[in-house]
């Protein structure tokens, strides 16, 4: 054995031997209970991060432990197409080339993104291997595999047939830059400074950061307990404006804060979630003024006849301008008309932003929704009753609150990259469909369904289709294939949480495969706490809905790995930690157990660089212990008597076996790793081996037994160095498939 352990010499070769030996692939053994984990699929849009390493380390500990205990153990890997995030990433690459997604028809853009993803997907697969993950590659899944697509579409059809799917205009979080909607839970908020404008509204003054939406205000709202405005409630007033007077009624709203601004609020149902709900309550019209490109749309005004020339000039000036650009022009005109009272330039407020960091524009759009009431009740009860246990237990309340407050779920996204909804529209039956498509000469056109048919461009529209927009009430057919020659398919794709919410099912070949019958329900779902609501809740809902059984028994939620400075890792902050650099310098084992030992009961933690270095040193220590045992092997006496030191170390070893089993059962990985570390370094190396060197009654059998048992206990935490030692010392077989230690009775 070399003087020091060189991880670069062993890691790739050991992993190749593991994979080729079939050690990762379990057999279905009837009447024997399996142990199953489905790997949360990393996004195919880029490389893996430190959180992925922690996830793999934790799950591999459980998998290797159960495999060594003799359970048929399945760890099924896969990757996620990650719809919105992947498309955002790809469009950034397009932008570097001076191109836009609007230059491509839908089919071509999908193919281009697919090629981009498959390059990344193979890179991620190699990274999973490099992390030492003992996953069963023979059962690998991708969220866009054909059998997955079929199941996801069938689930949608089943939901629809049972009246759990509907289509409606709804206030959604829309990003004009990304061109898609986001679920509430996908939107983050950034604190920003924006001017707060105090504007004259007839007899009142209102305060707003969005004067541009005033043209489509349909009411004024006041708190019914606010004495200043009680007499005005129910009255309809003429309010002078930049494009002439408009009529508005004063309505009561208990949610108006009398202390904010002037205590009276303008109501714009088309561009504010709260106002949208208020509009439904008071039957207010929903009148959008910002289009899907994030530009002001004054066509409703300009199409009128006999408009005052001053107002027409203004409307033409604002029309098709970006929101912030139009806002500046409007503020100038408010000043000119004497309607701007004052401006608070120091106003700070939270602004919703999408995954790419663009500002969200609340917009009313047709969307596909799932009614969640009947789905969430059994999913909530499964956790409350203990059928599913969440670790750490204090995270349970997050799940319960989310499930109790969950609204109907908007499942459609205006993306190209993803699983397309199996919904079809006949152009003859739906003449008001709006189609955007590229003609063969590259011209981008917008036509109605009737316009496409009359111009005889159906084939051209189908081939060059970019987006289809169907008004609410349009006739549609749900089908896996086209129902007829004049049908075009919905261009919206499923929210990725809809498809990945079925991950435990589709990975195992739901509903009829032998794998599904044997390995479902799975045992542990291990993931980051931040997607408990987004993902774990959906899997539980779909698992129970489709099978009547929970998809897993335990949920373990690890914390988020933060940068060395304690902040969230961000390229803009320059504090992102690249796992590959640490693997290159310190080895996979040191990085894996360093991260595991750095976490505490599911809480966020700073990247533990000192722990990684410490475990690199520990790997070398274990290597040197093995070198010593190897060196004295031939010197061992044929007659060996167990002495007091032997009895002490064996007692401690038995206690360690018991402790590690107990702690792993409770998902206390850091504590289990620490106990092995303390035993091997201090009790075995510092005490027992030092005494062994100077003892006249050496017992090699005990020395060797403690080493072998220590390697087995340590293997799930540090698989490479332990397997390397096992092979170097020519122990039987591979350590990965060796039996887990059992407690030896001491006489």
DSSP string, 594-610: HHHHH-BTTB-EE--HH
Closest to 673 (Cα-Cα) out of 686, 685, 663 = 663
Spatial distance between the Cα atoms of 693 and 151, rounded to a whole number of angstroms = 64
Spatial distance between the Cα atoms of 50 and 222, rounded to a whole number of angstroms = 50
Contact between 589 and 720 (Cβ < 8 Å): yes
Q: Which residue has the higher pLDDT, 542 or 102?
A: 542
Contacts of 116 (CB under 8 A, 6+ apart): 86, 90, 93
Buried b (16+ CB within 10 A) or exposed e, 355-384: eeeebbbbbbbbbbbbebeebbebbbebbe
Q: C-alpha angle 462/468/473, rounded to 5°?
A: 125
Q: Which helix (H) or strand (E) holds 200?
A: strand 196-201
pLDDT digits (tens, 9 = 90+) for 552-562: 999 999 988 88
Q: Which helix (H) or strand (E) holds 558?
A: strand 552-558
Contact between 388 and 550 (Cβ < 8 Å): yes
Residues 29-53: what's their mean pLDDT?
A: 89
Q: Give the side-chain half-sphere CA count within 13 A for 534.
A: 16
pLDDT digits (tens, 9 = 90+) for 564-606: 887 887 766 677 888 899 999 999 999 999 999 977 677 888 8
Spatial distance between the Cα atoms of 257 and 246, rounded to a whole number of angstroms = 25
**Domains of the chain as residue ranges with CATH:** 23-156+502-586 (3.40.50.620), 195-346 (3.90.740.10), 422-491 (no CATH), 604-737 (1.10.730.10)
Closest to 131 (Cα-Cα) out of 628, 492, 595, 526 = 595
Closest to 540 (Cα-Cα) out of 521, 514, 513 = 521
Give yes or no for residue 543 having a pLDDT over 50. Answer: yes
Six-digit token pair at 531? Answer: 């997607």
Contact between 504 and 527 (Cβ < 8 Å): no
Spatial distance between the Cα atoms of 169 and 108, rounded to a whole number of angstroms = 30
Residue with tokens 């059928």: 387
pLDDT digits (tens, 9 = 90+) for 496-523: 999 999 999 999 999 999 999 999 999 9
Backbone dihedral region for residue 619 (phi beyond 0: left; psi -120 to 50: alpha; all else: beta): alpha
Residues 365-392: what's their mean pLDDT?
A: 95
Torsion of CA 115, 118, 123, 124, to 10 degrees: 140
Six-digit token pair at 165? Answer: 């799917």
Q: Which helix (H) or strand (E) holds 726?
A: helix 719-728
pLDDT of residue 388: 98
- Local structure of 694: helix, strand or coil: helix
pLDDT of residue 637: 59
**Phi then psi for 654, rounded to 5 degrees?**
-60, -40
Spatial distance between the Cα atoms of 439 and 283, rounded to a whole number of angstroms = 42
pLDDT of residue 85: 83
pLDDT digits (tens, 9 = 90+) for 312-351: 999 999 999 999 999 999 999 999 999 999 999 999 999 9
pLDDT of residue 683: 97
pLDDT band at 746 (very low <50, low <70, confident <90, very high): low
pLDDT digits (tens, 9 = 90+) for 622-653: 999 999 999 988 776 555 677 889 999 999 99
Contact between 480 and 150 (Cβ < 8 Å): yes
**3-state DSSP of 412-436:** EECCCCCCECCEEEECCCCCCCEEE
Residues 517-544: what's their mean pLDDT?
A: 95
Contacts of 554 (CB under 8 A, 6+ apart): 388, 389, 390, 391, 523, 524, 525, 667
DSSP-derived pairing of the beta strands 605-606 and 561-562: parallel
- Local structure of 276: helix, strand or coil: helix
Contact between 84 and 178 (Cβ < 8 Å): yes
Contact between 568 and 588 (Cβ < 8 Å): no
Helical pair 644-665 and 669-678, crossing angle rounded to 10 deg: 170
- pTM for this one? 0.86
pLDDT digits (tens, 9 = 90+) for 565-575: 878 877 666 77
pLDDT of residue 202: 87
Q: Which residue has the higher pLDDT, 638 or 25?
A: 25
pLDDT of residue 43: 85
Spatial distance between the Cα atoms of 360 and 587, rounded to a whole number of angstroms = 43
**Phi then psi for 607, rounded to 5 degrees?**
-55, 125
Closest to 290 (Cα-Cα) out of 377, 376, 205, 174 = 174
pLDDT digits (tens, 9 = 90+) for 160-199: 999 999 998 888 888 888 777 787 767 889 999 999 999 9
Q: In this prediction, what percent of the chain has a pLDDT beyond 90? A: 78
Strand partners, 219: 249, 267
**Phi then psi for 419, rounded to 5 degrees?**
-95, 115
Strand partners, 290: 296
pLDDT digits (tens, 9 = 90+) for 699-740: 899 999 999 999 999 999 999 999 999 999 999 999 999 999
pLDDT of residue 132: 96
Residue 564 DSSP symbol: T
Closest to 698 (Cα-Cα) out of 636, 648, 647 = 636
pLDDT of residue 365: 86
CA–CA distance from 566 to each of 562, 563, 576, 605, 674 (Å)?
Answer: 5, 5, 11, 7, 23
Contact between 214 and 266 (Cβ < 8 Å): yes
- Local structure of 207: helix, strand or coil: strand
- Local structure of 22: helix, strand or coil: coil
Contact between 136 and 75 (Cβ < 8 Å): yes
Most confident of 361-365, 384-388, 692-696: 384-388
CA–CA distance from 118 to each of 324, 369, 725 (Å)?
Answer: 39, 31, 37
pLDDT band at 747 (very low <50, low <70, confident <90, very high): very low
> Can you point out the beta strands (E) in 335-422?
340-344, 348-353, 361-370, 389-391, 409-410, 412-413
Residue 567 DSSP symbol: S
Six-digit token pair at 120? Answer: 């990344």
Torsion of CA 272, 276, 277, 282, to 10 degrees: 130
């Amino acid at each position: 054995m070399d003087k020091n352990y060189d991880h670069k010499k062993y890691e790739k070769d050991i992993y190749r031997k593991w994979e080729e030996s079939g050690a990762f692939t379990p057999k279905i053994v009837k009447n024997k209970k399996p142990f199953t984990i489905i790997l949360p699929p990393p996004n195919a849009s880029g490389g893996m991060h430190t959180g992925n390493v922690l996830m793999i380390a934790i799950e591999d500990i459980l998998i290797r432990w159960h495999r060594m205990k003799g359970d048929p153990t399945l760890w099924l890997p896969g990757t996620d197409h990650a719809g919105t995030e992947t498309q955002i990433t790809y469009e950034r690459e397009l932008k570097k080339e001076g191109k836009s997604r609007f230059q491509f028809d839908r089919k071509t853009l999908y193919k281009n993104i697919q090629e981009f993803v498959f390059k990344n997907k193979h890179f991620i697969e190699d990274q999973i291997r490099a992390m030492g993950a003992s996953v069963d590659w023979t059962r690998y899944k991708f969220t866009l595999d054909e059998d997955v697509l079929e199941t996801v579409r069938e689930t949608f059809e089943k939901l629809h047939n049972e009246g759990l799917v509907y289509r409606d205009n709804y206030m959604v979080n829309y990003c004009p830059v990304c061109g898609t909607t986001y679920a509430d839970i996908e939107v983050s908020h950034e604190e920003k400074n924006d001017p707060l404008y105090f504007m004259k509204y007839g007899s009142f003054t209102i305060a707003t950061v969005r004067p541009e939406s005033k043209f489509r205000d349909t009411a004024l709202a006041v708190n019914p307990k606010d004495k200043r405005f009680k007499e005005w409630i129910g009255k309809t007033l003429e309010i002078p404006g930049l494009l002439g007077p408009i009529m508005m009624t004063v309505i009561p709203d208990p949610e108006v804060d009398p202390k904010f601004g002037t205590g009276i609020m303008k109501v714009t149902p088309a561009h504010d979630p709260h106002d949208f709900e208020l509009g439904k309550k008071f039957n207010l019209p929903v009148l959008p003024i910002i289009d899907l490109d994030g530009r002001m749309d004054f066509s409703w005004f300009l199409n009128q006849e006999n408009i005052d020339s001053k107002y027409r000039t203004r409307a033409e000036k604002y029309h098709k301008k970006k929101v912030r650009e139009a806002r500046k022009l409007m503020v100038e005109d408010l000043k000119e008309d004497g309607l701007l009272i004052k401006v608070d330039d120091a106003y700070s407020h939270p602004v919703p932003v999408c995954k790419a960091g663009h500002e969200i524009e609340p917009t009313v759009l047709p969307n596909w929704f799932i009614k969640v009431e009947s789905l969430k009740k059994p999913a909530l009860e499964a956790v409350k009753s203990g059928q599913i246990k969440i670790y750490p237990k204090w995270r349970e309340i997050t799940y319960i609150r989310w499930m109790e407050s969950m609204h109907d779920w908007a499942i459609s996204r205006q993306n190209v990259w993803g699983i397309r909804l199996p919904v079809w529209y006949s152009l003859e039956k739906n003449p008001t469909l709006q189609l955007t498509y590229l003609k063969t000469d590259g011209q981008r056109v917008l036509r109605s369904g009737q316009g496409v048919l009359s111009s005889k461009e159906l084939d051209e529209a189908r081939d060059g289709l970019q987006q289809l927009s169907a008004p609410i009430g349009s006739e549609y057919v749900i089908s896996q294939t086209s129902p007829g020659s004049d049908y075009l398919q919905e261009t919206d794709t499923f929210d990725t949480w809809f498809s990945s919410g079925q991950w435990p099912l589709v990975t195992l070949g739901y509903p009829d495969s032998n794998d599904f019958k044997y390995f479902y329900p799975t045992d542990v779902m291990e993931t980051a706490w931040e997607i408990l609501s987004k993902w774990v809740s959906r899997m539980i809902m779909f698992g129970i809905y489709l099978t009547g059984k929970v998809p897993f028994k335990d949920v373990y939620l690890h914390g988020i790995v933060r940068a060395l400075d304690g902040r969230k890792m961000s390229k803009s902050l320059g504090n992102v930690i690249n796992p590959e650099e640490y693997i290159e310098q310190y080895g996979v084992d040191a990085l894996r157990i360093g991260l595991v030992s750095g976490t505490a009961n599911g809480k966020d933690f700073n990247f533990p660089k000192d722990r990684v270095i410490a475990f690199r040193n520990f790997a070398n220590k274990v290597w040197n212990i093995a070198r010593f045992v190897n060196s004295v092997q031939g010197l061992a006496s044929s007659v060996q008597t167990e002495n007091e030191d032997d009895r002490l170390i064996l007692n401690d070893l038995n206690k360690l076996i018991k402790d590690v089993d107990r702690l792993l059962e409770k998902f206390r990985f850091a504590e289990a790793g620490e106990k092995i570390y303390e035993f091997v370094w201090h009790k075995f190396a510092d005490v027992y081996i030092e005494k062994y060197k100077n003892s006249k009654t050496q017992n090699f059998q005990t020395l060797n037994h403690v080493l072998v048992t220590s390697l087995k206990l340590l293997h799930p935490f540090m698989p490479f160095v332990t397997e390397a030692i096992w092979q170097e010392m020519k122990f039987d077989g591979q350590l990965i498939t060796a039996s887990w230690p059992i407690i030896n009775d001491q006489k």
